Chains A and B, each alone.
Chain A
Amino acid sequence: MINVEILIVGGGPAGLCAANAAADLGASVLICERDEIPGGQLVKQTHKFFGSRKQYAGDRGIAIGDFLLDEVINDPKIEVMPDTTVIGIYEDGLVLAERSEEIIKINPRKIIIATGAAEKFLTFPGNDLPGIYGAGAVQTLMNVAGVIPGERVLMVGAGNIGLIVSYQLAQAGVETAAVIEGAPTIGGYLVHASKIQRLGIPVRTGYTIKEAYGDGKVEGAVICRLDAAWNMIEGSEEDIKCDTICLAVGLTPLTELCWQAGCEMAFIRELSGHVPLIDKYLQTTNPKIYVAGDVSGVEEASSAMVEGRLAGYSAACSLGYGLDTAPSLQAGAMAELDELRAGPMSDRIRQGVEKVEKMVTKGGV
């Protein structure tokens, strides 16, 4: 049995920042990370980050992962357990984790869930043909394992992931036949779209995948136009030859542990799925549990890092650490989040966060 003050589930940007923040205030922290190398999605993000210097803007995700990990590893108050998956939070607050087929019992005083998000899947005929991947999976395959998925890709979804992965496919010498997007407008940052258009990769909004076909593997896809009500327009079908289809149709918060721990949950469309109801300190309705990053609503890595710090301060403070400094640190992180969410690209996030705030005021955390 491991007794620890703060257990952090997930060593991605939110989890690593949470660990640093909590340890800075004096709490002892254990991070359980299911992958061999902590860093979460940062380990495959070869592109530069947006945001400001406080969120390491201009640095590549992979480098940010390295800095954060260095800080964590060099902090005697933080223990990192890689290759360790938290599999359950039980009725008595005990946590089970699995590492190399061994069960580890952890008895934390506070838990910060920073499990991130999972890729959404899409329903269309042929959607189980080999050669159909989540775009995030392809990014891992290429940028972590050094393997390309195929020779010619159809990218479904023009959010940031679809646009960025198309660019990275090009960097790896893989052709992207087109990036199609069901919505009438591009969802990701336009600079990413411009960047791939310059390489000759067409971004086609108002198109969806009608079906994938092939004999035992993907050989092509039929795409077609959508009308304003998202209905397929008969006769607008086009055949796209490709051996790979990447689905970049969004992420959804990975909340199994929150549900298990009895946190009150709500479906918030703007936050991309079911999320735990939280107060402004990121505490859930289970007072033992805090959340940070995509698990509380899918957003950018920059805000995940700030949320991580906020959750780390909050959890440490609830254990009596940094009682004098924590309030200003928390206020600073909240102000940073407000700034990141101030722009028009964050309209949805702001609406989602407001919805959660309202539900919490009603129900009370």
Chain B
Amino acid sequence: MKKAYDIVIIGGGITGCALGFELAKRGRKDILIIEKEYLTSGATGRCGAGIRQQWGTVLNATLARDSTYLFENLEEYTGYKGDCGLNQGGYLIVAYTEAEWTQFQKNLELQHGLNIPVQKLDPQGAKEIVPHLNTEGLYGATFCPTDGHADPFHCTFAYAKGAERLGVEIATYTEVTGLRTAGDKIIGVETTKGYVQAGTVINASGYNASAITKMVGMEVPVYPERHQILITEPVNHIQDPMVISFHYHFYCQQTPHGSFIMGIGDPTEPVSYNIQSSWKFMEDCATQVTHSLPILKNIRVVRQWGGLYDMSPDANPVIDEMKGASGLYTVAGFSGHGFMVAPKTAIIIAQQLTGEKPDIDLHLFSANRYETGELLLEPSVV
């Protein structure tokens, strides 16, 4: 670690690593990524790693669509020797209420407008794609064959290794303990391994984002919320798509390795940094998933874990420069879908910071929307 950098990125998840890569790719030198533990140790490495283009707002759908294109060639794009584990088996989003089904039809129009190849399926059609799906109570489903999931570790490592090749430095097991400002300008970062100067600091620390901005007395409405996942032993390939229900808050996919990964949201989960596993999650998840996908009842669970969403009040991120601390940018609050939009989001932010014209306008993610009340409500979150 040197004493001074041009840009310091706080957070070694996929967002921070992709940002480091995209900035370096655009010729920025002297970039440091600081990570408290190891790369992917936060939300990235604990997530379900789904990649879904079926969103209910244009902005999210576009970011996810363009990110999907990037995921499709991530190894080549970043020069990575490993396998990022992309599996485009589709997303089958199942509707269990009439309201949901009505919303899905609306989303479908929006998605078709963006050339996202989503199909509308009746219960029988859904069963053809996932033969072990219990269609009881099912109104219908939408299916996008180019959705899927990837390996969150390898995707992040791909960006990190690519960034390092372009000269980016990564300091793992290094924690940010403070930010320094001069007037209203950010000038550096204090860490457990010493102080580093930097004129630009990007706060990509996920659920810790508000803890970071508080270091300069500023608030961003990003808070941690526990979500849990379990994974099974590997079995023969039987399920292509991610099956997901907003109504029952669950999702379930089979990885290329053969294990099933599944999670279920708990609407009563309090705001907390707790990432311990709970037996209630095991019970809820098993009960729901074996009801919807009964065949999975005989597969053995090998591990469960908890992670934190970086939630925001409207379940969408804050991507903005902090007023009163110029040079400090917050890129956080992705509320559970940061992984799937990271590739394109990183490009746009890098474009903004290097003076290029951004491909997509991100002003809807501005921090002041919570003051003006212009929230970006996303109907399709789990």
* Chain A residues at the B interface, C-beta cutoff of 8 Å: 88, 90-92, 94, 96, 105
Q: How far is the CA of A96 from the CA of B279 in the complex (A)?
A: 8
Contacts of B278 in A (CB 8 A): 90-92
B189 to chain A minimum Cβ distance, whole angstroms, is 31
Task: List 14 A–B pairs whose Cβ atoms lie within 8 Å, in order of A's numbering.
Answer: A88-B277, A88-B279, A90-B276, A90-B277, A90-B278, A90-B279, A91-B274, A91-B276, A91-B277, A91-B278, A92-B278, A94-B279, A96-B279, A96-B282
Tell me the complex Cα distance, A135–B274, Å.
41
Interface string of B266-309 (1 = CB under 8 A from A): 00000000101111001000000000000000000000000000
Q: Which residues of B contact A90 (CB under 8 A)?
A: 276-279
Q: State A90–B306 Cα separation when bound (angstroms).
A: 12
**Residues of chain B with a CB closer than 8 A to A96's CB:** 279, 282
Residues of B within 8 Å of A88, CB to CB, are 277, 279
Residue among B276, B277, B278, B279 facing the most chain A CB atoms (10 A cut-off): B279
A248 to B56 alpha-carbon distance, docked (Å):
60
Q: Contacts of B282 on A, CB cut-off 8 Å?
A: 96
Q: How many A-B residue pairs have CB under 8 A?
A: 15
**How distant is B265 from chain A, measured CB to nearest CB, in Å?**
18
Complex contacts, A92 vs chain B, CB 8 Å = 278
* Separation of A90 and B277 alpha carbons in the complex (Å): 7
User: Complex formed: what's the CA distance from A96 to B283 in Å?
Assistant: 11
| Complex Cα spacing A105 to B282, Å | 12
Interface string of B243-284 (1 = CB under 8 A from A): 000000000000000000000000000000010111100100
* Nearest CB on A from B284, distance (A): 13
Total B residues in contact with A, Cβ cutoff 8 Å? 6
Q: How far is the CA of A96 from the CA of B274 in the complex (A)?
A: 20
B283 nearest in chain A by CB position: A103
Lowest 9 CB-CB distances: which A-B pairs, in order? A91-B276, A90-B279, A96-B279, A94-B279, A90-B278, A91-B278, A90-B277, A88-B279, A91-B274
B286 to chain A, nearest CB (A): 9
Closest Cβ of chain B to A304, distance in Å, is 29
A105's partner among B276, B277, B279 (CB-CB below 8 A) is B279
Q: A94: which B residues are within 8 A, CB to CB?
A: 279
| B277 partner residues in chain A, CB cutoff 8 A | 88, 90-91
- Extra contacts besides A92-B278, A96-B279 (13): CB < 8 Å: A88-B277, A88-B279, A90-B276, A90-B277, A90-B278, A90-B279, A91-B274, A91-B276, A91-B277, A91-B278, A94-B279, A96-B282, A105-B279
A94–B279 CA distance with the chains assembled, in angstroms: 8
Interface members, chain B 208-262 (any A CB < 8 Å): none
The smallest beta-carbon distance between B248 and chain A, in angstroms, is: 21
Least Cβ–Cβ distance between B58 and chain A, in angstroms: 40
Residue in A closest to B275 when the chains form the complex, CB atoms: A91
Give the chain A neighbours of B276 by CB distance below 8 A.
90-91
**Whole-angstrom CA separation of A94 from B278 in the bound complex:** 9
CA distance A90 to B276 in the complex (A): 8
Q: Report the nearest A residue to B301, measured CB to CB.
A: A87
Q: A88 to B277: give the CA distance in the assembly, Å.
A: 9
Interface centre among A90, A94, A96, A105, by most B CB within 10 Å? A90
Residue of A with least CB distance to B306: A91
CB distance from B298 to the nearest CB of A (A): 10
Nearest residue, chain B, Cβ from A91: B276
In the docked arrangement, what's the CA distance between A91 and B281, Å? Answer: 12
- Shortest B307–chain A CB gap in Å is 15
CA distance A92 to B276 in the complex (A): 10
Which A-chain residue is minimally distant from B300 (CB atoms)?
A: A101
Q: Closest approach, in angstroms, between the C-beta of A112 and any C-beta of chain B?
A: 20
Q: How far is the CA of A88 from the CA of B303 in the complex (A)?
A: 11
For residue B300, give the distance in angstroms from its CB to the closest CB of chain A: 10
Please, how many angstroms separate the alpha-carbon atoms of A90 and B279 in the complex? 7
Q: Tell me the bound Cα distance from A265 to B278 in angstroms.
A: 21
- How far is it, in angstroms, between the C-alpha of A288 and the C-alpha of B211 when the chains are bound? 32
Interface centre among A88, A91, A92 (most CB of B within 10 A): A91
Give chain B interface residues in 11-47, CB to chain A under 8 Å.
none
Please, how many angstroms separate the alpha-carbon atoms of A311 and B278 in the complex? 27
Q: How far is the CB of B308 from chain A (nearest CB, A)?
A: 15
Shortest A244–chain B CB gap in Å is 29
Bound: A91/B272 CA distance, A: 14
Nearest CB in chain A: distance from B171 CB, A:
25
Q: How far is the CB of A308 from chain B (nearest CB, A)?
A: 27
* Bound: A88/B282 CA distance, A: 11
Q: How far is the CA of A119 from the CA of B279 in the complex (A)?
A: 29
A257 to chain B, nearest CB (A): 13
Closest residue of chain A to B276, judged by CB?
A91
Smallest beta-carbon distance B75→chain A, Å: 30
Inter-chain CA distance A88–B281, complex, in Å, is 13
Separation of A92 and B281 alpha carbons in the complex (Å): 13
- The distance from the CB of A113 to the nearest CB of chain B, in whole angstroms, is 18
CA distance A91 to B274 in the complex (A): 9
Which residue of chain A lies nearest to B298 when distances are taken between CB atoms in the complex? A101
A9 vs chain B, min Cβ distance (A)? 16
> Once bound together, how far apart are the Cα atoms of A105 and B278, in whole Å?
13
**A-side contacts of B279, CB under 8 Å:** 88, 90, 94, 96, 105
A96–B286 Cα distance when bound, in Å, is: 14
CB distance from B159 to the nearest CB of A (A): 31
How far in angstroms is the closest Cβ of chain A from B130? 25
Question: Within the assembled complex, what's the spacing in Å between the Cα atoms of A92 and B277?
Answer: 10
Q: How far is the CA of A143 from the CA of B97 in the complex (A)?
A: 60
- The residues of B that contact A91 with a CB separation of less than 8 Å are 274, 276-278
